[in-house]
Chain A
Amino acid sequence: MEELTIIIPVHEYNETIEKYLQRAIESVEAQTEKPSNIIIVGPKEVINAQRQQLDTTSIGFELITNEGQTDYCSQINLAVKYVITKYFSILEFDDYYQKNWLKNVNIYTKFKPDFSIFLPIAKFVNVKDEEVCLANEILWSLAFANELGVIDPEMLQSYGDFSVPGGVIRTDDFIEIGGLKPSIKLSFWYEFLLRASNNGVKAFVIPKTGYIHTIERKDSLMDQLSAMSEKETSFWMELAKKEYYFVNERADKAKFVEKKKLTEIIK
Chain B
Amino acid sequence: MDNKVKEISEKIDDAIGKLNKKDFTINFFVVDTKGVPNGNTRYIYEMAKELIDNDYNCFMLYQQEKETIQEKQNIKGKDVIVDKEVEVPFIGVRDWMGDEFADIPHGSIGSETIKVSTSDFLIIPELFANVMNQTKKLPCKRIILCQNLNFITEFMSLGTSWANFGLLDVITTTETQAEEIKDLFPYMKTKVINPSIPNYFRNNSDPKKIVISTVIKDASLLKKLVNQFYWKYPQYSWVTFMDLRNLSRESFANTFRESAITVWMDDETYFGHAPVEAIKSGSIVIGKIPDVIPEWMYSDDKETISTNGLWFDNFKDVHKLIAQAIKLWLDDEIPEIITDEMVKMEDRYKVEDKQIQLLDVIETYIAERITELKDIKNKIEKK
**Chain A residues within CB distance 8 Å of chain B:** 98, 100, 103-104, 107-108, 111, 121, 133-134, 137-138, 140-142, 144, 148-149, 207-209
User: Residues 199-222 of chain B: 1 if any A CB is under 8 Å from the residue's CB, otherwise 0?
Assistant: 000000011011100000000000
- A133 near B331: Cβ-Cβ < 8 Å: no
- A121 near B330: Cβ-Cβ < 8 Å: yes
Cβ of B332 under 8 Å from chain A = yes
- B207 near A209: Cβ-Cβ < 8 Å: no
Given A134-B235, A207-B210: A140 touches B332 (CB 8 Å cut-off):
no
Chain B residues 236 to 260 lying within 8 A of chain A, measured CB to CB, are 237-240, 260
What are 22 A-B interface contacts by the 8 Å CB criterion?
Answer: A98-B332, A100-B332, A107-B207, A111-B207, A121-B330, A134-B235, A137-B238, A138-B238, A140-B209, A140-B210, A141-B237, A142-B240, A144-B238, A148-B209, A148-B240, A149-B209, A207-B207, A207-B209, A207-B210, A207-B330, A208-B330, A209-B331
Chain B residues, Cβ within 8 Å of A134: 235
Q: How far does the alpha carbon of A149 sit from the alpha carbon of B237 in the complex, in Å?
A: 15
Q: How far does the alpha carbon of A209 sit from the alpha carbon of B210 in the complex, in Å?
A: 11
Q: How far does the alpha carbon of A137 sit from the alpha carbon of B42 in the complex, in Å?
A: 39
Known: A98-B332, A140-B240. 19 other contacts (CB 8 A): A100-B332, A107-B207, A108-B207, A111-B206, A121-B330, A133-B235, A134-B235, A137-B238, A140-B210, A140-B211, A141-B237, A141-B240, A148-B211, A148-B240, A207-B207, A207-B209, A208-B330, A208-B332, A209-B330
Chain B residues, Cβ within 8 Å of A104: 207, 332
Chain A residues, Cβ within 8 Å of B235: 133-134
Given A134-B235, A140-B210: A98 touches B331 (CB 8 Å cut-off):
yes
Within the complex, the shortest CB–CB distance from B57 to chain A, in Å, comes to: 48
Within the complex, the shortest CB–CB distance from B289 to chain A, in Å, comes to: 29
Chain A residues, Cβ within 8 Å of B206: 111
Chain B residues, Cβ within 8 Å of A208: 330-332
Chain B residues, Cβ within 8 Å of A111: 206-207
Q: How far does the alpha carbon of A209 sit from the alpha carbon of B237 in the complex, in Å?
A: 16
Within the complex, the shortest CB–CB distance from B249 to chain A, in Å, comes to: 23
Q: How far does the alpha carbon of A207 sit from the alpha carbon of B258 in the complex, in Å?
A: 12
Q: How far does the alpha carbon of A89 sit from the alpha carbon of B260 in the complex, in Å?
A: 26
Q: How far does the alpha carbon of A149 sit from the alpha carbon of B238 in the complex, in Å?
A: 11
Chain A residues, Cβ within 8 Å of B239: 140-141
Within the complex, the shortest CB–CB distance from B238 to chain A, in Å, comes to: 4
Q: How far does the alpha carbon of A134 sit from the alpha carbon of B211 in the complex, in Å?
A: 17
Q: How far does the alpha carbon of A111 sit from the alpha carbon of B208 in the complex, in Å?
A: 11
Within the complex, the shortest CB–CB distance from B203 to chain A, in Å, comes to: 13
- B330 near A141: Cβ-Cβ < 8 Å: no
Q: How far does the alpha carbon of A148 sit from the alpha carbon of B238 in the complex, in Å?
A: 11
Q: How far does the alpha carbon of A170 sit from the alpha carbon of B368 in the complex, in Å?
A: 70
Q: How far does the alpha carbon of A133 sit from the alpha carbon of B209 in the complex, in Å?
A: 20
Residue of B nearest to A134 (CB): B235
Within the complex, the shortest CB–CB distance from A112 to chain B, in Å, comes to: 9
Residue of A nearest to B209 (CB): A148
Q: Which of B238, B239, B260 has the most CB of A within 10 A?
A: B238
Within the complex, the shortest CB–CB distance from B271 to chain A, in Å, comes to: 31
Residue of A nearest to B206 (CB): A111
Q: How far does the alpha carbon of A209 sit from the alpha carbon of B239 in the complex, in Å?
A: 14
Chain B residues, Cβ within 8 Å of A141: 237-240
Q: How far does the alpha carbon of A103 sit from the alpha carbon of B206 in the complex, in Å?
A: 14
Q: How far does the alpha carbon of A59 sit from the alpha carbon of B235 in the complex, in Å?
A: 36
User: Residues 325-362 of chain B: 1 if any A CB is under 8 Å from the residue's CB, otherwise 0?
Assistant: 00000111000000000000000000000000000000
Chain B residues, Cβ within 8 Å of A142: 240
Chain B residues, Cβ within 8 Å of A107: 207
